Amino acid sequence: MEDQNPVKPQSMSPLSAFAERPGGVRFETQESKESVELFLRQHPIVNLGWLTTAAILLAVPYFALPILLRMLNITQYVPMGYIIVASAFWYLATFGFILTNFIHWFFNIYIVTNERIVDIDFYYLLYKHFSEADLSKIQDISYTSSGILPTMLDFGNVYIQTAAETPVLEFDKIPHPERVVQTIRMIRERGGAT
Amino acid sequence: MNDAALMSSAMTVVKILVIIGLVIYSFFAVIVVRQEQLMSHVLEESSETVLRILVKIHLLLSVALILLAFIIL
């Protein structure tokens, strides 16, 4: 089929949450003739909560440890080796906390191809949920964007009702939900579903 | 058993517990590496190399901390 989409494939920023026809992106079950039209992640602002926690975790030893050492005179009871190992472990665990949260955001992705919609979710460690629906099976598509932050930063949820095995696909807190809905409608109208 | 011997035994137990805790954490670090590998298999993207390096650094640091605990505790 002739490609009527005017948007040319473009290189995608590594941390991009919204990309139209991104170059260099492939997913597990992608077929040879299938092209990625939209690549989505949750809006980066959703990371603010764990980033704040991480900043606090990083700052706590800097401020709290000298006070604890001075006030409780811990060095008198606890050998210095334990304090060093505990401090190192604190930073290592914080690094692990940052890594796991970032990985969770980075790999929770929504993809719209010229044939289907794919929702890949990773919950906790080693649990993957992959759901998809052909564009031809979409029955209804809607979006919500409510609240001060979503309105200001233009992000929200997109709900796609389908006749496929997964009745509703939800794109959670994605940037530009209106554009996503329009793009999916456009792909359907131009007969992207084969 | 005198106080010094009792204290020494207690510190040995604490040391063993700390090292067991660090070993458990390093298992977690291995799982994070495995998780990243699984996810990379699902999504092929150029920026994953940095992430792959970071999770391996995390694993190496967790193993290094076990060695450090063995040496200085």
pLDDT digits (tens, 9 = 90+) for B10-67: 889 999 999 999 999 999 999 999 988 888 888 877 667 889 999 999 999 999 999 9
Count other Cβ atoms within 10 Å, centred on residue A92: 19
Whether residue A122 and residue B45 make contact (CB cut-off 8 A), yes or no, is no
Partner-chain residue, chosen from B11, B31, B46, that has the shortest CB–CB distance to A126: B31
Using a CB-CB cut-off of 8 Å, the residues of chain A touching B45 are 12, 14, 24-25
Q: What is the ipTM of this complex?
A: 0.91
| C-beta of residue A17 within 8 angstroms of C-beta of residue A175 | yes
Q: In this complex, do A85 and B54 lie within 8 Å of one another by their Cβ atoms? A: no
pLDDT tens for chain A, 194 residues: list them: 444 555 565 667 778 899 888 877 888 888 888 889 999 999 999 999 999 999 999 998 888 878 877 777 776 778 889 989 999 999 999 999 999 999 999 989 999 999 999 998 887 667 778 888 889 888 999 999 989 999 999 999 999 998 877 788 899 999 999 999 999 999 888 875 44
H or E segment to which residue A155 belongs:
strand A155-162
Give residue ranges of B with CB < 8 Å to any A CB. 11, 14, 18, 22, 25, 28-29, 31-32, 34-36, 38-39, 41-47, 50-51, 54-55, 58, 61-62, 65, 68-69, 72-73
Using the Cα atoms of residue A160, residue A155, residue A187 and residue A31 in order, give the sign of their dihedral: negative
User: Distance between alpha carbon B9 and the CA centroid of its chain, in Å?
Assistant: 25
